[in-house]
Structure 1
């Protein structure tokens, strides 16, 4: 419904309201039944069972569960218990990290005011805001939150803070009589001056209006609906791991089936071949991978806290590392969300505020006018009033002009309040028996009331030439996105003209803005070098947005700016094309933000969205990674986000990107390490069975190596020290697989580990492959088991760097890795040396020559990889 276009009479007719006395209580109850309570709908929260299921809902976990069931069925209880333990650990780690339910809709609901003042049966009543219905007459005043969407009927000097809904940093002047004639799509929320919106805040003035939308029909309700319908998507790592799990699962089944058929054709025992097939399936799957990835991500979460980043969802740690577009809200994210005076004009010149001189009479008078003609209060600890007026008092305080002292020296005796028609405010003060009229307001309006100007030579006539110079200077400021506010005064010897705003003496004007955060420009430059593009998406005006973007280095030309209205008039394909060359989107609505994020994602980008307001919530949820501000951010934005910046600092995103890239590299190291080790196991088993040899490894050996021996080095690789220059690399492509550039390394080491395991097995058999006595077979399997585990432990050192020698990058830099290798060696020695353990694992003690052979074979992966790196270099 286009309420802002309708006149008062049309609104009454549409809502079946008869007069200005409001609806009756009886009618209100009927409408409450018809429209429902003025609350926002919420999704049903996930149960603990549903959350646990979401953690185990992937192919890799399903294959592990099947393997556990099969192992238990054939009597391998130890194998089944170990696999079950892995599944449980993975689920618990994920559920603990993501146990906080999505609070976005609950936070939206709680933002509504608990009480509202309405007129019913001709009487003013205070009711629960949930009981407001369309057609109610609602009264609002300074400091009150708006309980629903309202079409204004009356207003007096009404200003509303709409930053959390529209992103506009300055309170909006509202006017009940502003009748807008354009089509609905042409009027952004921020320009609907005769409308008030649910959960925005009245900063100045008062107003009366008629409720036109409640609950989910309000603008904030539409945002709630968008949060409801936005589906969580998988991050690049989740997609890669899901793909790996699918391939490994399919591969495990194929290999097991092939081996089973080969064994049956060879005339082997059916149950024996079934167990061998299960062993192969177990060998094909790195059982510890899901738990290790979750643990590495959880460790990354702890590291991120030190970088002022709170991770709400584990995969967000790595997702930010792959982002190549950061879409950021302007107000409060790139800027300080605080109006600040930056420049002033006096005696024909523009100065920076830092050059203000209290001794200069004109400059001092200019600032005194802005302080005295002002209703705001300001101290370092507290401030009240309109943000524009607060900025003026703060600028004066910064230059040693105290408002309290000035007001004692110049007591106020009269005032003409600001209104949106005059765009002026005047106060009258008495000082040393003289009356001072002090006026501030829009420069074009104020100049019409001035006939003189203050200069260094004294008060001079205000000529048309001087007026033109003043207007030109104000345009210069406006082009830099500064909001201009002018000041004038007059001194009277008597009280006669205190109520007048004529014959004023022009003094000067100030330029103010919501300034960029000091550290953001440098951070954006770092992002550029890292191949990450920054896109500003804001509800603010085009000129303001472009000026900030130009100062921060986001955009250089106005052609890089697009307004939300333009997005409504082009196709999705055209939006996708526009998004690739547009770096600033101004005057946008929450729906536009979601459109932009969707277009960037469909163009193949991995998108981060940064914001703090209610209006940012849907796009935060839609983005690959939503980043909310922790201090100024609304609960809605935090609830919809994947991560939160505790210091509200855009620069922390750069640190998070760097951390995310390192974590992804480390996860990749861990996963490739595990898979290369498992490939070695598959090669050893596959070749032995095809050749008709006895099985070189028992299923418990494979499980033990996969879950314990490999797990410690994999975890240590997950916390490997960061590699220098990671922020000079380009973001990885969205479709880049986990094995990108790693297949030769993977195959080489898989073959190497498989071959040396078979060599150790054959040495243990003394070359006999048929009719092998049980004790000889146990000795050979022990040799293979220990060689496999030792070679994999040594192989972990190769992952310190894929290109440089481990001795060059520092063999002692990752102390956790060295400790994990030592622990692994000790555990394996104990298994073959302690009788009960040896019996459990079906192994036996080895002689000194056996140990020498095992050690020599186990060192080969490190030696050969070092030679390959040397040759490649």
Structure 2
């Protein structure tokens, strides 16, 4: 990309073959449209529906389920195949509905283009559609007009431009066409350039268009967005691994059973059906749908906490976030300049303690030497001047009232050379006063006296030193310092006012202050093992001051600039990011590099922001979080999560919610796997003991898809654990199933399997071998019914073992999850209906039981929860 900011305006005009006087001809403009294209953004291809669906089913677990469906249809088990297929379809539909909103980032970027541009064509100034602007066009920018393309200014008059959405600079920047800019100067400091979609807030300027469309700075952001690829979340990756393990395990177990049974002399067809049954038992068919549903439940809870989730997997990813990269302006701060300190009567004081009775002239100067307007709470104009009006209003110096008492007779507007502004106002008695504000280095040299404790005294050298030191002290706190002065005009005509012999009144220090609740949220982040990092386009001094006040950083060495990033390779940056907590004067490309460096260090990274400049890094991060109120449509269209209240504290609350949601998902997975292992244990032991199968394929499928599913979903409603934010973030390399989890699954799986097998054995009461070839025996069917009910009831009771990680069921209110209670009752009711309603007897091959058989079923069904409670009590003791 051409470095237009380095070149003189004359050389730029010559290179683009245009002139200030005439601009381009209409014919030349048309030719350049053919050459460069329209001044708009390329549309991103919409993701087709078939691809959205494919992304939902593209996992090993789903492939295994599809294979099981085909096998089920092949061997005539149509009902089994249909049920499995329904689960796959349900999972895909839920995912597609949640993610079907097409990426809006580029289309929203296009909407941000200025609809009209004031250009010179054939020597005539005319307003045209911004899309028709071409390189070489001479553009005029006045107050309130959006800049239609990237331009190199050749003339500026007091021009200030709001660039926060692009650069992160918290206040409008002053533009100077004659500024000499170095090659490596950051975007925010390129004073002789204007950038597409930024807004002029003051003054006027003229420039030549140097870049349009996708070649502009904002267009480069659009290009970055297109280059970013979606990456899998930790849970997606772990479930894919789990799916492979389960798939391999299912195949191994099935082959093992087939081989053992073959040498036992069992029929090949029966063996094949048993092998399929074991495959079904080994794979939790409902797991993909249940995980999706639990995530969707988490989405609803997040909405109540002011966070809208656009992409389901982002919910669980939040729980493992170890780095929160946050934009400063508008995210950590209010994006509103605010006066925080003053210096009057030789004393620095907070604005709260300003003695208004002794500071009348000081406050009047703030309000009268001011071009901003304020009616009620609606203010317009330069943010710095708006901040001064707010101080006046706070102390009952309303502009509407004052301007009637002191009518403006003349003004000397602010310019970049003088760095001050002066107005002449006539009071009701006809006396004129000059009020001036500006940089201290401009006001102090033209002041000869000062107002102190209501008395006008000489401005001595000592007093000047005190004022200078006060300004320096305020600057060290990253405050923007303005000086105020006035003088009565005795005999001078208003339009002949000389900016000299002023009476110095005092200083104001202002800053874009932190949001009120941010500090507490950052402290909570530290407690939770999460590192907050500030990334901003603002200057390093201001950024560090804010970071220090929020306890993000405690020493200047923890600050790095965009220029320093450019001097490092990505590998070197990867090493440095460990110790850096503030990145200042960075561009969108830098932000992406920073996020990438943190990710390469093994972190799960969340990026929060609101501006156009944040969009690429929002997309690059594991979780992109946009501000819903102040955020641009581009940022919101790119993010995974949108905060409806723009509070940094909400992202911390969302992390807490994410951790609990992951915990609930894990509870569901542990529940399903331990239940499925119980089925495998029961079947595999029966085969090894040369017994008939205690469960049929339809029994296993019914339990997996109906009985297990309800409690697994209900576990997603478990309330959050209070101590969750005192734990470190989950290791992104940690498997879904840890060693401790494996013990839990094995222990409970064997317990459920043995209970089922013993109930089956009691039901047969005789020689088991005679039933190997007589699978239609009523006694066998009744024994299988006992095994089927014991399996399903024991799994329903087992769901209460998952309510919490520590302590027994009774230490947590047993009834605090009404959905789990409802799932338990409904599960019992469904199983009883299968037994007592004749229609279901033949459909699922079950038979009614007598009283003694019911006692056996109930006794063995409650065994898992009793054993778990005893073990927990022993551990606690």
Same topology, TM > 0.5 = yes
Question: Does 1:849 find its partner at 2:852?
Answer: yes
Question: Does 1:438 find its partner at 2:466?
Answer: no
Q: State the alpha-carbon separation in 1 of the partners of residues 475 and 860 from structure 2.
A: 76
| 3-state DSSP of counterpart to 1:758 | helix
Q: Is the 8 A contact 1:717 1:817 kept in 2?
A: yes
* Alignment match of 1:338 (pick from 328, 336, 339): 336
* Superposed displacement of residue 53, structure 1: 1.5
* Superposed displacement of residue 495, structure 1: 2.9
* Residue matched to 1:28: 29
* Residue matched to 2:617: 619
Q: State the alpha-carbon separation in 2 of the partners of residues 457 and 746 from structure 1.
A: 81
Runs of at least 5 residues in structure 1 that lack an aligned partner in the other structure: none
Q: Is the 8 A contact 1:357 1:364 kept in 2?
A: no
Q: What is the root-mean-square deviation in Å for CA atoms of aligned residues?
A: 1.2
Q: State the alpha-carbon separation in 1 of the partners of residues 189 and 816 from structure 2.
A: 59
Q: Is the 8 A contact 1:90 1:294 kept in 2?
A: yes
Q: Is the 8 A contact 2:20 2:138 kept in 1?
A: no
Q: Is the 8 A contact 1:433 1:493 kept in 2?
A: no
* Superposed displacement of residue 173, structure 1: 0.3
Show CA shifts across 1:617-665 (max 9, x none): 1111111101100000000110110101100001111211111111111
* Superposed displacement of residue 115, structure 1: 1.5
* Alignment match of 1:824 (pick from 792, 803, 827): 827
Comparing 507-516 with 49-58, which one deviates more in the overlay? Answer: 49-58
* Alignment match of 2:808 (pick from 801, 805, 808): 805
* Superposed displacement of residue 830, structure 1: 1.0
| 3-state DSSP of counterpart to 2:356 | coil
| 3-state DSSP of counterpart to 1:157 | strand
* Alignment match of 2:456 (pick from 445, 455, 459): 459
* Residue matched to 1:677: 675
Q: State the alpha-carbon separation in 2 of the partners of residues 284 and 13 from structure 1.
A: 75
* Superposed displacement of residue 271, structure 1: 2.4
Q: Is the 8 A contact 2:518 2:550 kept in 1?
A: yes
Q: State the alpha-carbon separation in 1 of the partners of residues 142 and 252 from structure 2.
A: 72
Q: Is the 8 A contact 1:331 1:538 kept in 2?
A: yes
Q: State the alpha-carbon separation in 2 of the partners of residues 870 and 698 from structure 1.
A: 37
* Superposed displacement of residue 690, structure 1: 2.8
Q: State the alpha-carbon separation in 1 of the partners of residues 584 and 439 from structure 2.
A: 24
Q: State the alpha-carbon separation in 2 of the partners of residues 125 and 269 from structure 1.
A: 91
Q: State the alpha-carbon separation in 1 of the partners of residues 813 and 747 from structure 2.
A: 23
Question: Does 1:482 find its partner at 2:483?
Answer: no
Question: Does 1:423 find its partner at 2:416?
Answer: no
Question: Does 1:373 find its partner at 2:376?
Answer: no
Q: State the alpha-carbon separation in 2 of the partners of residues 115 and 57 from structure 1.
A: 46
May I ask how many residue pairs the two structures share in their alignment? 868
Q: State the alpha-carbon separation in 1 of the partners of residues 459 and 840 from structure 2.
A: 101
Q: State the alpha-carbon separation in 2 of the partners of residues 803 and 487 from structure 1.
A: 64
Q: Is the 8 A contact 2:369 2:436 kept in 1?
A: yes
* Superposed displacement of residue 763, structure 1: 1.3
* Superposed displacement of residue 835, structure 1: 0.9
Q: State the alpha-carbon separation in 2 of the partners of residues 588 and 146 from structure 1.
A: 22
* Residue matched to 1:118: 119
* Residue matched to 2:108: 107
Q: Is the 8 A contact 1:434 1:494 kept in 2?
A: no
Question: Does 1:494 find its partner at 2:495?
Answer: no
Show CA shifts across 1:421-458 (max 9, x none): 11110000112232101111001111111111111262
* Superposed displacement of residue 179, structure 1: 2.2
Q: Is the 8 A contact 1:304 1:311 kept in 2?
A: yes
Q: State the alpha-carbon separation in 2 of the partners of residues 60 and 781 from structure 1.
A: 29
Q: State the alpha-carbon separation in 1 of the partners of residues 454 and 582 from structure 2.
A: 46
* Superposed displacement of residue 18, structure 1: 5.2
1:263-278 to 2 correspondence within 5 Å?
Answer: 263-278=261-276
* Residue matched to 1:530: 528
1:494-513 to 2 correspondence within 5 Å?
Answer: 494-496=491-493, 498-513=496-511
* Residue matched to 1:401: 397
* Alignment match of 1:236 (pick from 229, 234, 237): 234
* Superposed displacement of residue 826, structure 1: 1.2
| 3-state DSSP of counterpart to 1:100 | coil
Question: Does 1:179 find its partner at 2:180?
Answer: yes
* Alignment match of 2:298 (pick from 286, 292, 300): 300
Show CA shifts across 1:287-322 (max 9, x none): 111111111111111111111111111111111111
* Residue matched to 2:761: 762
Q: State the alpha-carbon separation in 1 of the partners of residues 635 and 767 from structure 2.
A: 69
Q: State the alpha-carbon separation in 1 of the partners of residues 170 and 298 from structure 2.
A: 35
1:521-670 to 2 correspondence within 5 Å?
Answer: 521-670=519-668
Give every structure 1 segment of 4 or more consecutive aligned residues whose post-TM-superposition deviation is greater than 6 Å: none
| 3-state DSSP of counterpart to 2:156 | strand
Identify if the C-alpha distance between structure 1 residues 816 and 509 changes in structure 2 by more than 3 Å, giving closer, same or farther: same
* Residue matched to 1:795: 798
Q: Is the 8 A contact 1:356 1:399 kept in 2?
A: no
Q: Is the 8 A contact 2:610 2:635 kept in 1?
A: yes
Show CA shifts across 1:479-529 (max 9, x none): 111100111111022234742111111111100110111110011111111
Q: State the alpha-carbon separation in 2 of the partners of residues 760 and 32 from structure 1.
A: 82
* Alignment match of 2:838 (pick from 835, 849, 862): 835
Q: State the alpha-carbon separation in 2 of the partners of residues 14 and 201 from structure 1.
A: 27
* Superposed displacement of residue 152, structure 1: 0.6
Q: State the alpha-carbon separation in 1 of the partners of residues 829 and 453 from structure 2.
A: 88
Q: Is the 8 A contact 1:709 1:793 kept in 2?
A: yes
Question: Does 1:42 find its partner at 2:43?
Answer: yes
* Residue matched to 2:77: 76
Q: Is the 8 A contact 1:614 1:636 kept in 2?
A: yes
Q: State the alpha-carbon separation in 1 of the partners of residues 510 and 722 from structure 2.
A: 42
Q: State the alpha-carbon separation in 2 of the partners of residues 621 and 719 from structure 1.
A: 30
Q: Is the 8 A contact 2:835 2:841 kept in 1?
A: yes
1:306-325 to 2 correspondence within 5 Å?
Answer: 306-325=304-323
Question: Does 1:387 find its partner at 2:386?
Answer: no
* Superposed displacement of residue 19, structure 1: 5.6
Q: State the alpha-carbon separation in 2 of the partners of residues 791 and 102 from structure 1.
A: 46
* Superposed displacement of residue 164, structure 1: 0.2
| 3-state DSSP of counterpart to 1:718 | helix
* Superposed displacement of residue 260, structure 1: 2.6
| 3-state DSSP of counterpart to 2:552 | coil
* Residue matched to 2:685: 687
Q: State the alpha-carbon separation in 2 of the partners of residues 400 and 700 from structure 1.
A: 80
Comparing 494-503 with 294-303, which one deviates more in the overlay? Answer: 494-503
Q: State the alpha-carbon separation in 2 of the partners of residues 435 and 860 from structure 1.
A: 95
Q: State the alpha-carbon separation in 2 of the partners of residues 539 and 404 from structure 1.
A: 36
* Alignment match of 1:412 (pick from 384, 408, 414): 408
Comparing 68-77 with 329-338, which one deviates more in the overlay? Answer: 68-77
Q: Is the 8 A contact 1:64 1:287 kept in 2?
A: yes
Q: State the alpha-carbon separation in 2 of the partners of residues 140 and 823 from structure 1.
A: 69
Q: State the alpha-carbon separation in 2 of the partners of residues 289 and 79 from structure 1.
A: 17
* Residue matched to 2:154: 153
